[in-house]
Structure 1
């Protein structure tokens, strides 16, 4: 990724040069060794997760509100704005009950 020296906007690669998408300034690309650029969607592969055992993942001490079991699998997801904390989702290892915890 390259940023424009003139206006600070992100530049894109066109015909061996960096071109600013805002002001049109151009810069030589130089040596791109170690840089990987992907534009071909055919190389992408869809991963089928439907047959993955759900009993994979980290566990923690968490009291299930349904069966009082003291272990649960957990995961974090960002479901609100980026400047807010993630939501913790739990699944009881005993009964499979699911619940979540939010920071207030």
Structure 2
């Protein structure tokens, strides 16, 4: 893959020349440099993202009533997690007794 020295866009080959479709810059192709370029087929699958679990590595609990209908517990593990986009954090709870999970609203 070759990038344009003028505008940074990806260049395409046309015969013996690399051509930038954005700004029109042209550069001669170098067979030795192209032979050194690596090619990678496909994409890597890193699997599903980790799901937050407030019980992992946490011994801290706080008084927070469980919202599950059949649970009378008032203790929950908690964990602070950043919201997507990093604007603020949200507190995630897991009931100590029944394992029900919820977030602070």
Asked if Structure 1 and Structure 2 have the same fold, meaning a TM-score greater than 0.5 normalized by the shorter chain, the answer is no
What's the TM-score, normalizing by structure 2? 0.41
What's the TM-score, normalizing by structure 1? 0.41
Which structure has the larger Rg? Answer: 2
